[in-house]
Amino acid sequence: MTYICGELQDYTYNCAFPEAGGADEELLLIQHNDIDRTAGQNGFTFNTTNPTIIEAIGIKVGKQAFAFKGKRNPNAVMSEPVEQDFSSGFQHGLMFNLYEVSPATVEILKSLQQNKVMGILKTNQRNSTGNNIFKVVGRAVGLYLVEGTYNSAENQGVVQVTLQPQGDLLEPNFMEFLFDTDIPTTVALYESLKEEVPPAE
């Protein structure tokens, strides 16, 4: 399918790759302040044919993405269209769990309240190319902590975390995707984001 910005296109259900809900037990969070804005287009390399596909993310030296891993399919991304008086866009969201309340997780929640992040989640969906597996949310306007519900008498004391944009800020795309060339290359790219960027030699 050729991408044409804002144009309606044909779509045919592919029974070889049926719909699939759910996601991986790990997600990545990247602080916007850790993105190297001198790389690519303001920190991102976009596919030249379809700019909803991100082929690379520049991370500053000494920085990395942070992995959050849970159990029993705890993670979810969401997107919904929003119409405003003079514009329109999409509100992204990211939901995951923290499995303890401790000094460390309290600091994590404080950081998510103060620092703008974006998220990458490997979902169970897959099309013929695999370019829809890794969903990206919060790339343009970022996500902050809006809910971190804790009740010691419910859900074994698990903290249910929700991240969304500040105020009325909207993302330009319903969803964006991390993908480069093929699935193995993309998996390697995803894994590399978890490694601290070394100084240039």
**Per residue in 59-82, pLDDT tens?**
999 999 999 988 887 899 999 999
Q: Residue 45 is encoded by which pair of tokens?
A: 């390399």
* Antiparallel, parallel or unpaired: β 53-57 and 176-178: parallel
Mean pLDDT of 78-89: 91
**Per residue in 24-49, pLDDT tens?**
889 999 999 999 999 999 999 999 99
Domain locations along the chain: 26-192
Model confidence at 16, pLDDT cuts 50, 70, 90, reads low
Percent of the residues in the chain that have a pLDDT greater than 90, as a whole number? 59
**Per residue in 103-133, pLDDT tens?**
988 899 999 999 999 999 998 888 889 999 9
pLDDT of the residue at 4: 63
- 3-state secondary structure labels for all residues of 73-110: CCCEEEEEEEECCCCEEEEEEEEEEECCCCHHHHHHHH
Model confidence at 2, pLDDT cuts 50, 70, 90, reads low
- pLDDT at position 13 over 80: no
pTM of the full structure: 0.87
Integer Cα distance of 40 and 31 in angstroms:
17
- pLDDT at position 1 over 60: no
